[in-house]
Amino acid sequence: MKIEEYRKKGLSFSFSKEEGFRDGIYYLQFPKTEEGSRRKGAELTEIMGKLKAKEGNISLLEIDKNFRRSFIEGILLSDYKFQRYKGEREKEAAIYVKGIDGVGEESKIRDLVFFVRDLVNDAPEKINPKSFSEIAGKIQGVEVFVGDKKWLKENGFNGTLAVGKGSSIPPRVVIYRYSPEGARRKIALVGKGVTFDSGGLDLKSPEYMKDMHMDMAGAAVVLGIAKALKDFPVKDEIIGIMPLAENLPSSSSYKPYDVLQMDNGKTVEINNTDAEGRLLLADGLIYAEKQGADIVIDLATLTGAAIVALGELVAALYSTDEEEGKKMEKASEKTGEKVWRMPLVEDYRDELKSQRADIKNSGYKRSGGSIMAALFLSEFIERPKWLHLDIAGPAMIEKPFYYMSSEGTGFGTRLLLEYLRGEK
């Protein structure tokens, strides 16, 4: 959707207490909140699509000036379709707007979210550890390093190496650094980068495997932040860490009952090869702490249990620091990307005990799966403040929801950026 200077052309929109089409004008209800305004912008896009209108106009002078930017954001974020492999693509519509002075920032945020959505939605033959690394290497404004299989071995990324053993495409890690002068703190962002998850030898059913090209959504968001930092500078040093692997079955795959030695000295018994993402994250958390991070934030499409608990629209948030947890919740309220604080229930930790190793990678009980995964990760981070976001629900949804597109949504991109920019 193109946002252009106001002229009374095409389908006219306005605001009213009652929504509906009257006297040649489509009336939207007055928004009462910033998020409500964002959703009204998405409604405008939907209505234009249903009526096949290629042009429309609206004056935002009628609504609270604090809501105008979010209205534009809703229009832009909702106008997304993954059309990379379509021969004939839909033409872009235009909306002529009165009451705003440019849409530069909103357009840049739209481009960032679409960049992440495109990564998540692309075919697994196109996005793998090698190609993802090549895309990362082209990002400007940060220093990017790609660690190959040899580097992973030398630096103790043994979880990533194990998960990637079954694929002909070797695992990698992408690490970027953003170092502003006079940085206050060092914040590490760790993203799960399983570019396709078949479950490994504990093979998923076809029903649950079909969307597993999206199991790298956490890494895509962390890479999106790298792209954002050029236009949206922050005062903290940022380290992005994205372990990348394909989890596939083959004669060389890692196996149930294997025992891995992690780089912090702990041993892990594998009792489920489909609980692989936490092994990549464990490597990333250990590395982040070694780099002297003050705060570590990880994002992952980690557990189906988080979806069972919170549905498709809400991410599970775990935090070992109350202040930082509240900052993430505040960023959630600002952006409309919903999170819900979850407990790290110490009484459940015994479920992860192993007779053969220090810990096993999955509990035997089906209940409390998201908490179990978070407890597992907590074994690999000690000193830094830690926030864990299980984005399995909102990272990929079945049907569009206002400005969230179906399939890959880019969830977490605006949330993390707002959190990082929170103290301007």
Asked if 176 and 284 count as a contact pair (C-beta separation under 8 A), the reply is: no
Could you confirm whether 204 is annotated as catalytic? Answer: yes
Could you confirm whether 184 is annotated as catalytic? Answer: no
**Token reading at 150:** 């040899």
Q: Where are the alpha helices (DSSP H) in 83-165?
A: 104-121, 129-137, 149-154, 158-163
The 10 Å Cβ neighbour count of residue 218 is 31
Q: Which one of the listed residues 204, 255, 349, 421 is annotated catalytic?
A: 204
Q: Where are the alpha helices (DSSP H) in 145-240?
A: 149-154, 158-163, 206-209, 217-228
Compute the distance between CA of residue 110 and CA of residue 112 in angstroms, rounded to an integer.
5
Angle between helical axes of 277-290 and 369-378 (0-180°, round to 10): 30
Picking from 338, 328, 332, 311, the residue whose alpha carbon sits closest to that of residue 393 is 311
Q: Which residues of 265-276 are buried (b: 16+ CB within 10 A; e: fewer)?
A: eeebbbbbbbbb
**71 phi and psi angles, rounded to 5 deg:** -60, -45
Say which amino acid occupies 419: Y
Q: Which one of the listed residues 192, 278, 327, 338 is annotated catalytic?
A: 278
The 10 Å Cβ neighbour count of residue 292 is 12
Cα 369 to Cα 268, 299, 362, 364, distances in angstroms: 17, 16, 8, 10
Compute the distance between CA of residue 14 and CA of residue 30 in angstroms, rounded to an integer.
9
The 10 Å Cβ neighbour count of residue 367 is 11
Q: Which residues are designated catalytic?
A: 204, 278
